[in-house]
Amino acid sequence: MKWARKDLLGIQELSKEEILFILDTAESFKEISKREIKKVPTLRGKTVITLFYEPSTRTRTSFEIAAKRLSADTINISASTSSYVKGETLKDTAKNLEAMKPDVTIIRHNMPGAPHMLAKIVDSSVVNGGDGAHEHPTQALLDLYTMREKKGFIDGLKVVIVGDIIHSRVARSNIFALRNFDTEIVCCGPPTMLPPHLEALGVKQSYNMEEALRNADVIMMLRIQKERGGVAYIPSIKEYSSLFGLRKEHISKAKKDVIIMHPGPMNRGVEIMDDVADGPSSVILDQVENGVAVRMAVLYLLLGGET
Amino acid sequence: MSILIKNGRVIDPASGIDDIIDVLISGNRIEKIDKHLSGAGKEVRVIDASGHVVAPGLIDVHTHLREPGYEWKETIKTGTMAAAKGGFTSIVCMANTNPVNDNKSVTDYIVEKAKSEGACRVFPCGAITRGLKGEELAEIGEMVEAGIRAVSDDGKSVKDSGILRKAMEYAKLFDIPVISHCEDEGLSKGFVHEGRASLLTGLDAVPAIAEEIIAQRDITLAGYVGSPVHLTHISAGGSVRTIGEAKKRYDKITCDTCPHYFSLTDEATLGFDTSTKVNPPLRGQDDLEAIKEGLRNDTIDIIATDHAPHENTSKDVEFDIASFGISGLETGLALSLNLVHEGVLTLGDLLRKLTVNPAKLLRLPYGGIGPGRIADITIFNPDIEWTVDKNQFITKGKNTPFHGWKLKGKSLITIVDGKIVYRDKTFRP
């Protein structure tokens, strides 16, 4: 197939073919990061801007490394150093950046729909690097990539997502991605953190960790989104942790070869205990590694590459 | 100067007239209605209304004119001109101006300004509480003297039930309705309806029960103190059912809905189009159906526009920080006529909700066509098709989710106090 989209704004609008196309493309890029000279000239002369209105370590670094390994020039703008603090609107920021002719802008914003707004304003490509509680498409893509890499397939998997689902763009994007496949998706957490109408997305709900994790192939742990008010949805972190923190004994309920995922940043001792995060089932650092390959693939495809 | 409207289909829900007859206006009053009027012996301007509907001037019980204080969003002049274009001859403007219309001097200002610059009649709605803060009663009596016809803290509910109770009791003194904006504050930390669409967009959402809960509270309070209550911009199916049930037991409850609640659902918010951001939010399909049913079975008495004009820059931002509101005066009639085209309401029933019912709520002498009555008249054609172009709006508020929509039904002539205040360019009398 040929990639036809200008932007990557969400998983919602992607077809199964498009998702698989990105994953397949990423496979050919993974090897580059293992070379001694980790750079190919593919995107030489292209300019990639990361425009981050929310803090980020992993995503921004991952995008920047991905762009640099493809020889693109990268510029990082964060809200605290931008005209945003001087009151410039997103629209004006977008128009000003566009005037400097970037090829791709990766935007992270605390408000849903900001990337969509940006994409309407600029002619160059826009990648959603996370917008509020809406979507985080490259995270879901790297998660699927990791599942497929570790399990060999996505169809037939039981994926349990645990935590602050209502505020999680990672959960949403993963649900949107996984429902293209023959998967069983279970969201587990306190009822306050499970959004109403989840069943409309073909997702099962559970308030009980042991029950939810039974026969799971994949466990995806989420942190409490303090910046989106997540703490008000539970009486205390301590109580939350005792009910929904992932412990070693939980893992015995799941399949033997279960993999443990976490999009980061982790709150050790809250949603995940040390021995699980660092244990043999954990693929958390593989996710990070695969993130670079997936983002290389996304940049490559958006900038007109073909495989 | 007299005006003779010939051969139009006169529909007057107040008297039940629905017939092809002529209307003769002398000065500011209707002199005669009859077949084959000639107006001979007078200097008469003849309007040929063949094929069109001649109705009492429409009355909008819920608009925001933004003046004083937000003149860049709308003025009394532009707002009333937009109203006249939309077929409205009387409108109520809400109190959330700057300063708030919570005292006589602001009411005086609005009334005077409307008299000198307004294209249609303006009836201010006073605040229930000072500064819309929900704490102390505003000087309702003095404002009534200055011309308010209702009180409302529109924009939010009066949170303290004790204060609202006092307001309802006190308003009885002047025989004016309390207009309730129904929204439970604790449940309303959001920007869209809580439903499938909000799950997909991740936007913070408000459940429909936030409205229903306060509707029930306000009905209970009104019933207890024996005052009239009008619940405005009803959007949720649950509220319609609650109001319908309560009306069987207590007859001083009225309510209105707005065209956007029977024209759009929360699906419209999926693309993050900020013109769809309105409070209360666009609801689900079930709610939309319930609103239509409520209009059909008369649970909903009135259609109001909740005209909420905004400048482009307050909508041209991220959805979360965009202003709430839809500019509604120039699309209200046509969207409402869809109810007739769809068979939900007869033309007479629709007009009742746009004329006589609002007049009754506000104790206004308008909203009817008959000899001796004030000549506030709207001539429209329910079948003319046109395409909404926000750039052609008279209102300063170009914030409409209906831009580009093909609508059926257009107002052609608006007459206020015997004077033609609006004539459609395409209409050749």
- Within 10 angstroms of residue B275's Cβ, the number of other Cβ atoms is 20
Q: Chain B residue closest to A115 (CA)? A: B318
CA R_g for chain B: 21
A136 touches chain B (CB under 8 A): no
Number of A to B CB contacts under 8 A, please give it.
57
Which residue from A89, A132, A198 is facing B202, i.e. has the nearest CB? A132
Which residue from A91, A135, A195 is facing B316, i.e. has the nearest CB? A91
A166 touches chain B (CB under 8 A): no
d(CA A169, CA B206): 19
d(CA A190, CA A186): 13
d(CA A183, CA A157): 5
> A89 contacts in B (CB within 8 Å)?
313, 316-317
Task: Using pLDDT thresholds of 50, 70 and 90, give the confidence band for residue B429.
Answer: low
Which residue from A132, A196, A200 is facing B194, i.e. has the nearest CB? A196
DSSP H or E stretch at residue B296: helix B285-296
Mean pLDDT of A168-185: 98
Chain-chain contact of B202 with A131 (C-beta, under 8 angstroms)? yes
Chain-chain contact of A113 with B319 (C-beta, under 8 angstroms)? yes
3-state secondary structure of B256: strand
> B318 contacts in A (CB within 8 Å)?
90, 109, 111, 113-114, 117
Mean pLDDT of A254-283: 96
By the 8 A CB rule, do B421 and B378 touch? no
Give residues with Cβ within 8 angstroms of B278, minimum separation 6. Answer: B260, B306, B308, B324, B325, B326
Chain-chain contact of B207 with A196 (C-beta, under 8 angstroms)? yes
Q: What is the pLDDT of residue B302?
A: 98
> B204 contacts in A (CB within 8 Å)?
133
d(CA B172, CA B165): 11
By the 8 A CB rule, do B322 and B374 touch? no
Chain-chain contact of B196 with A200 (C-beta, under 8 angstroms)? yes
DSSP H or E stretch at residue B416: strand B406-416
* Residue B306 bears catalytic tag: yes
pLDDT of A306 higher than 60: no
Q: What is the pLDDT of residue B151?
A: 98
Q: How many angstroms separate the CA of residue B328 from the nearest CA in chain A? A: 24
Q: What is the pLDDT of residue A305?
A: 66
Which residue from B196, B202, B318 is facing A90, i.e. has the nearest CB? B318
In chain B, the percentage of residues whose pLDDT exceeds 90 is: 97
B90-104 tens-digit pLDDT: 999 999 999 999 999
Chain-chain contact of A134 with B196 (C-beta, under 8 angstroms)? no
Chain-chain contact of B272 with A116 (C-beta, under 8 angstroms)? yes
**Nearest CA to A306 among A38, A11, A42, A123?**
A42
Best of B272, B274, B315 to mutate (most A CBs within 10 Å, chain A): B272
Q: How many angstroms separate the CA of residue A112 from the nearest CA in chain B? A: 6
In chain A, the percentage of residues whose pLDDT exceeds 90 is: 90
3-state secondary structure of A87: coil
Chain B residues bordering chain A (beta-carbon distance below 8 Å) = 194-196, 198-204, 207, 271-272, 313, 316-321
Mean pLDDT of B167-192: 96
> A196 contacts in B (CB within 8 Å)?
194-195, 199, 207
B233-278 tens-digit pLDDT: 999 999 999 999 999 999 999 999 999 999 999 999 999 999 999 9
**Nearest CA to B350 among B374, B363, B334?**
B334
Q: What are phi and psi of A230, to 5 degrees?
A: -55, -30
pLDDT averaged over every residue in chain B: 97
Given the structure tokens 């309560």, which residue do they identify? B246
Which residue from A113, A116, A198 is facing B199, i.e. has the nearest CB? A198
> B199 contacts in A (CB within 8 Å)?
172, 195-198, 200-201
Q: How many angstroms separate the CA of residue A42 from the nearest CA in chain B? A: 33
d(CA B30, CA B12): 13
> A195 contacts in B (CB within 8 Å)?
198-199
d(CA A180, CA B33): 67
Q: How many angstroms separate the CA of residue B266 from the nearest CA in chain A? A: 14
B322-366 tens-digit pLDDT: 999 999 999 999 999 999 999 999 999 999 999 999 999 999 999
Q: How many angstroms separate the CA of residue B190 from the nearest CA in chain A? A: 12
Chain-chain contact of B202 with A109 (C-beta, under 8 angstroms)? no
Q: Chain A residue closest to B202 (CA)? A: A134
pLDDT averaged over every residue in chain A: 94
Q: What is the pLDDT of residue A80?
A: 74
pLDDT of A307 higher than 60: no
Q: How many angstroms separate the CA of residue A20 from the nearest CA in chain B? A: 22
By the 8 A CB rule, do B230 and B256 touch? yes
- Out of A84-93, A118-127, B299-308, B344-353, which region has the weakest mean confidence (pLDDT)? A84-93
By the 8 A CB rule, do A284 and A277 touch? yes
DSSP per-residue codes, B314-346: GTSS-GGGSPP-B--TTTHHHHHHHHHHTTSS-
Q: What is the pLDDT of residue A55?
A: 86
Here the tokens at position A216 are 């799971």
Chain-chain contact of A111 with B196 (C-beta, under 8 angstroms)? no
DSSP H or E stretch at residue A259: strand A259-261
Of the residues B306, B316, B349, B424, only one is catalytic, namely B306
**Nearest CA to A182 among A199, A157, A159?**
A157
Mean pLDDT of B210-216: 98
Mean pLDDT of A104-123: 96
Chain-chain contact of B318 with A117 (C-beta, under 8 angstroms)? yes
A192 touches chain B (CB under 8 A): no
Chain-chain contact of A114 with B316 (C-beta, under 8 angstroms)? no
Q: What is the pLDDT of residue B203?
A: 97
Chain-chain contact of B201 with A134 (C-beta, under 8 angstroms)? yes
Q: Chain B residue closest to A228 (CA)? A: B204
Q: Chain A residue closest to B269 (CA)? A: A113
DSSP per-residue codes, B336-377: HHHHHHTTSS-HHHHHHHHTHHHHHHHT-S-S---TTSB--E
Say what the pTM is.
0.95
Q: Chain A residue closest to B201 (CA)? A: A134
